[in-house]
Structure 1
Amino acid sequence: MELLCVGGMNKLFTGNSLLGLCQRQCNQIQAGESSPHLPAPTSWFSTRKSPGQLWEEHRRSHFFPGTLPKPFIWADPGTIITMGRPVTIWCQGSLQAESYHLYKEQVSQLLGMWVAWNFRDKARFSIKSMSPNSAGQFQCIYNSSSGWSERSDYLQLVVTGMYSKPSFSAHPSPIVASGGNVSLLCNSKDTMDTFHLLKEGGAGPPQHRESRFSAGRHQAVFPVDSVNISHGGIYRCYGSFRFSSHVWSHPSDHVDLKVTGTFEKPSLSAHPGPSVTLGENVTLQCRSESWCDTFHLFKEGFIAPPQHLHWQNNTGPFQVNFTMSLVNSVHAGTYRCYSSHSTSPYLLSQPSDPLELIVSEAANTTSLSKHKPDFKSGANVTSLNAELGTMNRIVFLKEKREGKQAES
């Protein structure tokens, strides 16, 4: 691991007794500034203790914690870092601190120590490129003329991107009524020992669950009970092995958890009607009486995320049209829509009343090529065919083949 100290310090190597030493120059550059071009190292032995003395004092302080207030340790931009990216560990103590010491622990053994001379209240230790060797559990301490500080709290530094990403899903749905329950399922075909759940935005520490083997996969369930507006947001999960708990997989695909019940429900209607003949077009219109700028269409039992459209005007009526072209049996089902504000995209209205879309075969078979998508110029419409994807095309081709076999 390569550590660089705060601007204005030089890194010296002093053999096995002291892994790294940073000396502050006389110009006293403030902590936190970008490191300038570092001048050649200068001798500090005339005014500072020798590396052996520092190591011995630090060794004693490890077993006999000091009495000065413990420093605060944190990492920037965070404690979960993608492999190859830089990270900076900060240690903040006292204005009277003469040196800061950062060390990494594993199995309760001291692996290394770094010293940064600093006449301010904090020191910076930079890791240029995050790797599995850089990950682990860190603490820092400082000393002054009054003695040594207590040790800081532990900093858990994690590297991600070592293994294949796990699968991630919400059950029964990523759309949850306020007060309801939802389970977030993380699973992998690899023999992961632990799964980790993380919400984007740094809202709370990661959650951890030991994996269980079920249905041919290793998985863990993260229950979210009594959902409220604070639970809305973007979630991802990671996997790791027991022998390297600070080394995680690539992140899973994200799940957008949306909480309903914040605003009044919109209305949902079908045009020309909820009963559609195979191969025709239908438009589902979502309309709200109160101001909103985003609408979401959700089909019960469909694993894809809800479709959404934005309303561009500031005046009513507030409505959008979701258009389905060349309808087939995949489109049949129960639909609901929601409204929301773009400023709080994970807080939705109450659901509209359900709309049952019925797809039936025509009395007289006609060419499906006559039924083309109907997009009106300037209208707020979207086609759901792309989202239905491969499933849509398979059913469509299957129906055509069955029709040809019946004719022959």
Structure 2
Amino acid sequence: RGKSLTGNSLPGLSLGWRTCVQAGTLPKPTLWAEPDSVITQGSPVTLRCQGTLETQEYRLYREEKTAPWITRIPQELVKKGQFPIPSTTWEHAGRYRCIYGSHTAGWSERSDPLELVVTGAYRKPILSALPSPVVASGGSVTLQCDSRVAFDGFILCKEGEDEHPQCLISQPRTHGSSRAVFSVGPVSPSRRWSYRCYSYDSHSPYVWSLPSDVLELLVPGEKFTMVMAGMRCGGPKGETDRQRQAMGREGETQRKQTERLRVPEREQGGAAPHPSFSPGQIRARPFLSVQPGSTVASGENVTLLCQSQGWMHTFLLTKEGAADPPLRLKSKRRSHKYQAEFPMSPVTSAHVGTYRCYGSLSSNPYLLTHPSDPLELVVSGAAETFSPPQTKSDSKAGE
């Protein structure tokens, strides 16, 4: 309550406190916004000021410029320290403080500032992860926020864990550019890493764009090994046995594959810890290939095939620099392998890039294998070929 959204004041503002009362006699009150201090245009919000006296008077101020809407609040609500806004507009945005007191007890110190942000003024930017939204445990990743309109301020907010979003402010790298780059990390598989970004004009720092689509980082476990069919693996206390039947070709004898694995408990607001297997020591790494061949003409039908020798529940396909989330398909068993087919039909220049696939033992997208070797889609004239990458992909999301 009452804390700055960004941890610091947004740029372009200075203190402009104006009051006709003698302040500083009583302890400062607490000022907060319900339901939140970042509010969508047209939504209701109430600013609340709370002091320590039973009988008191409240006053709310906006820094830098006056807020006429405050004078229209019914006095019975003002006496309770409530300042409701039925439908928020850009005119309500700003940096507020409040005081309380009485003519006999004197007046309090000013509250900490409350930054009321109104979103929805501009088109939403595009948030992407470079080189990929899949990040190794302990690693870092670059998040890039792009806008089709030139802005001089961008904000990245982490979602899902705190009462208020944690925001980082970034200036565009070059003058007039509509892009900002943020570094995030180190990451771990035990937490959820969900982000949105906003753009704004520094002349109106509390009026933001619509939020970007949510970008969720995927963090594979540090150790992810598979057990071979027929092996029984021991584990620590608290683990349970899971029987999986591996079906062979028609007419073959059914083989039972027993895995002993820990069933993780999901932490509140985060992903479940990655499972650990022992022994086996066969590191799970799927193989990514292309069908029908290594060279394909533009406009033809192409399928990326992700395969694993061991059992997998789900396969994920990622593209470096893509703003869209990874594609997910449930695996199918064919020719003694588990696989998923990702069709790309017909192939166009939009499919250019470097791809990797991952496997998962459950529908939980956070429990992943190590990535496959990269597969690069290259456009050369009228033909598009698949070949091992020689250099890192420079593909950019949203362009």
Bin the TM-score by the shorter chain.
0.5 to 0.7
Give the TM-score, by structure 2 length: 0.59
Asked if 1:173 corresponds to 2:132, the answer is yes
Describe the shift of the 1:323–1:286 C-alpha distance in structure 2 as closer, same or farther (beyond 3 A): farther
TM-fit CA distance, 1:398: 4.6
Paired position in structure 1 for 2:21:
60
CA contact (8 A) 1:184 1:222 kept: yes
Among 317, 321, 324, which residue is 1:297 paired with? Answer: 317
Q: What is the one-letter code of the residue matched to 2:181? A: V
What per-residue deviation string (whole Å, max 9, x for no partner) do you get for residues 168-203 of structure 1? 221111111122221111233433121111122264
Give the number of the structure whose alpha-carbon radius of gyration is greater: 1
Matches within 5 A, 1:363-402: 398=382
Paired position in structure 2 for 1:10:
none
Paired position in structure 2 for 1:74:
32
Paired position in structure 1 for 2:90:
132
TM-fit CA distance, 1:88: 1.5
What per-residue deviation string (whole Å, max 9, x for no partner) do you get for residues 252-284 of structure 1? 233222222256154425799996786686743
- Identify which of structures 1 and 2 has the higher relative contact order when contacts are C-alpha pairs closer than 8 Å and 6+ apart: 2
Q: What is the one-letter code of the residue matched to 1:284? A: C
CA contact (8 A) 2:95 2:116 kept: yes
Which structure has more helix as a fraction of its residues? 1
Asked if 1:102 corresponds to 2:60, the answer is yes
Cα distance in 2 between the residues matched to 1:110 and 1:164:
26
Q: List alignment gaps of at least 5 residues for structure 2.
A: 1-17, 226-283, 385-399
Asked if 1:240 corresponds to 2:240, the answer is no
CA contact (8 A) 2:314 2:360 kept: yes
Q: What is the one-letter code of the residue matched to 2:21? A: R
Among 318, 330, 341, which residue is 1:322 paired with? Answer: 341
Among 307, 313, 319, which residue is 1:285 paired with? Answer: 307
Describe the shift of the 1:399–1:232 C-alpha distance in structure 2 as closer, same or farther (beyond 3 A): same
Identity of aligned residues (%): 36
TM-fit CA distance, 1:128: 0.8
SS at 2:42 equivalent: coil
CA contact (8 A) 1:99 1:118 kept: no
Cα distance in 2 between the residues matched to 1:219 and 1:246:
19
Describe the shift of the 1:325–1:210 C-alpha distance in structure 2 as closer, same or farther (beyond 3 A): closer
Cα RMSD (Å): 4.4
Q: List alignment gaps of at least 5 residues for structure 1.
A: 1-56, 358-387, 401-408
Describe the shift of the 1:137–1:340 C-alpha distance in structure 2 as closer, same or farther (beyond 3 A): farther
Asked if 1:259 corresponds to 2:278, the answer is no
Q: What is the one-letter code of the residue matched to 2:111? A: S
Describe the shift of the 1:160–1:277 C-alpha distance in structure 2 as closer, same or farther (beyond 3 A): closer
SS at 2:63 equivalent: strand
Cα distance in 2 between the residues matched to 1:190 and 1:355:
34
Among 152, 157, 160, which residue is 1:201 paired with? Answer: 160
Paired position in structure 2 for 1:52:
none
SS at 1:177 equivalent: coil
* Between 245-254 and 221-230, the greater mean CA deviation after superposition: 221-230
Paired position in structure 2 for 1:15:
none
Paired position in structure 1 for 2:390:
none
